[in-house]
Copies of this chain bind each other. A is one copy, B any other.
Amino acid sequence: MNGADTLLETLVAAGVDVCFTNPGTSEMHFVAALDKQDGMRGILGLFEGVVTGAADGYARMAGKPACTLTHLGPGLANGLANLHNARRARVPIVNVVGEHATYHRSLDAPLTSNIEGFADPVSAWIRVSESAEEVAADGAAAVQASMTAPGQIATLILPADTAWNDASGPAAPLPIPAAAEVDGSAVSTVVDALKSGKRAALLLNGDAVSEAGLRLANQIAQQTNAVLLGDTFITRMARGAGRVDLDRVPYFAEDASQVLDGLEYLILVGTKAPVTFFAYPGRESHLTPEGCTPLTLARPDENVLGALEAVVDGLGATNIQPILNEPLTPDMASGGDLTPVAIAQSLAACMPEQSILVNEAATSGFAIPGATRGAPPHDWLDLTGGAIGIGLPLAAGAAVACPDRKVFALEADGSGMYTVQALWTHARENLDITTIIFSNRKYAILQVEFMRVGAHNPGPKAMSMLDLTNPDLGWTQIAEGMGVPARKAATVDEFNKALVEAVNHKGPSLIEALV
């Protein structure tokens, strides 16, 4: 067996059994090894941003890494924006990046580049295999690094000759280190703060917004009157009927301040102290109010659930029944032109149990959290790193991880275009994804932000950089050109009909919602 064979066997033995890929010549031995390895599923993306975004979605839902396979520096580069998002999501991913053969690297052939340089800003772990004999052990180390709490990006660079040369055999999986336990003094400090009678909030992300984490947080909140808040953008959250309700820190600083003002303790659980997404002239970037003490209960890389349990114990709140959302399924919206509110209502009315909502709806998505509060239990995935263009790939990865669950990709038109090639993968793999494009034909957020940063009223040249008309995007044509059945909806009735059809159909579809 060659190096590529040993790497694949090693990955499969370590539980990595999906490879999202867009390979090239230097990866051909890895592709050949796929043929021999029943345990690894290969999924092609037509652009590397699809590949890496799908790996993120897969990791969020499977709780373990997929591997990606990309072609030298530029192939990796095309996937970097979604790896940035994945780094912010704190998920495990194993990138395998093909490189020129070891003896070819110094020749400065056209595709030669500084792959480690490209990988560095997004990777917690980088290694270059220097011989076929090292590849298997490097692969095992990459999986271990990726699974180190809370989840990391590991990038293994594989010169072509290390893939094609003979190698002895696969490497055994390495142990996954447990997340560090939270220090007892952190717990007692938080317990004391919560008992002090001062106004406190728990700010949650990571495992703290899992179903179990939210139940523990709710016990704490009931015992102490602390407020529960989620980060503005979260990796994966349990929501809907039978789950603990959770408000989020709003996106805009003014709104966030209203929520946070008056707090005396901000207790950080699986996250860090909040800051504004962008800086604005004359405005404070820190969101922790003056006079409020931030207390870290658990960093993202620590045992978040264990820390919450310890606080529940410390407060004597173990027997408190968590307050859960009642089921509340609205009727489908009715009549008139389509609006974001109507979309949210109809979605809540007909989304099946255990749906996965992928949220990259940007400004058009404001009504969805409220409408789906009492909807059947579901998971919610956000854009975590601010690099738009993750929604359609993220949905692909989530659907691969959870083939029996319905995935809704809630997608702004501007964001959707970044990695529109993902629709082809939806079709090719027959993924059960309903994509709803909120087609407002503009970068609406930028039209808001243009004012907020204190620029003057945009003139025609500036406006033309922020709008998506001239020409309008024809999403149904684009989707059908990539094999995804699509409907256009300008009225609520048209939308409802298309949505019900999509929900009753297992497989990909797209609704172009003119809002």
Contacts and interface: CB of A to CB of B under 8 A. Distances in A.
Contacts of A477: 477-478, 480-481
Interface stretch (A135-143, A212-220, A319-327, A450-458): A450-458
Interface stretch (A20-28, A239-247, A290-298): A20-28
B46 A160 contact: no
A77 B459 CA distance: 29
Interface in A475-501: 475-483
B84 A81 contact: no
A74 to B, nearest CB: 3
A472 interface: yes
A68 to B, nearest CB: 13
A127 interface: no
Contacts of A160: 278-279, 453
A341 interface: no
A471 to B, nearest CB: 3
Given A24-B446, A80-B74, A277-B110, A428 B466 contact: no
The contact size tier of chain A is 35 or more
B462 A35 contact: yes
A117 interface: yes
Interface in A26-65: 26, 28-29, 31-32, 34-35, 42, 44, 46-47, 49
Please tell me how many copies of the chain the complex holds. 2
A103 B460 CA distance: 31
A458 B117 contact: no
Nearest to A383: B110
Given A427-B471, A462-B35, A164 B121 contact: no
Most chain B beta carbons < 10 A, residue from A74, A100, A272, A478: A74
Contacts of A483: 471-474
Interface string A59-83: 0000000000000111101101100
A81 B78 contact: yes
A403 B86 CA distance: 41
B465 A23 contact: yes
A73 B428 CA distance: 31
Given A121-B113, A465-B21, A101 B385 contact: no
A446 B25 contact: yes
A103 B474 CA distance: 41
A352 interface: no
Contact of A161 (B49, B279, B387): B279
Contacts of A450: 28, 31-32
A455 B386 contact: no
A434 to B, nearest CB: 18
Contact of A32 (B42, B458, B470): B458
Nearest to A459: B35
Interface in A98-146: 100-101, 103-104, 107-111, 113-114, 117-118, 120-122
B84 A386 contact: no
B424 A462 contact: no
A97 B281 CA distance: 19
Interface string A358-375: 000000000000000000
B465 A42 contact: yes
A384 interface: yes
Contact of A278 (B26, B42, B424): B26
B32 A456 contact: yes
A385 B110 contact: yes
Given A28-B446, A481-B477, A279 B110 contact: no
B473 A424 contact: yes
B118 A121 contact: yes
Given A31-B466, A46-B417, A453-B164, A118 B80 contact: yes
A128 to B, nearest CB: 15
A403 B450 CA distance: 31
B454 A164 contact: yes
Contacts of A387: 74-75, 77, 111
A483 B278 CA distance: 34
A110 B90 CA distance: 12
A275 B480 contact: no
3 A-B pairs with the lowest CB-CB distances in the bound complex, closest first: A471-B483, A477-B481, A74-B387
Given A28-B455, A80-B80, 10 more contacts: A28-B449, A32-B450, A107-B275, A109-B285, A109-B386, A111-B278, A114-B120, A424-B471, A427-B471, A478-B481
11 contacts: A28-B449, A35-B460, A75-B387, A78-B81, A80-B118, A88-B110, A100-B278, A107-B285, A109-B275, A118-B118, A164-B455
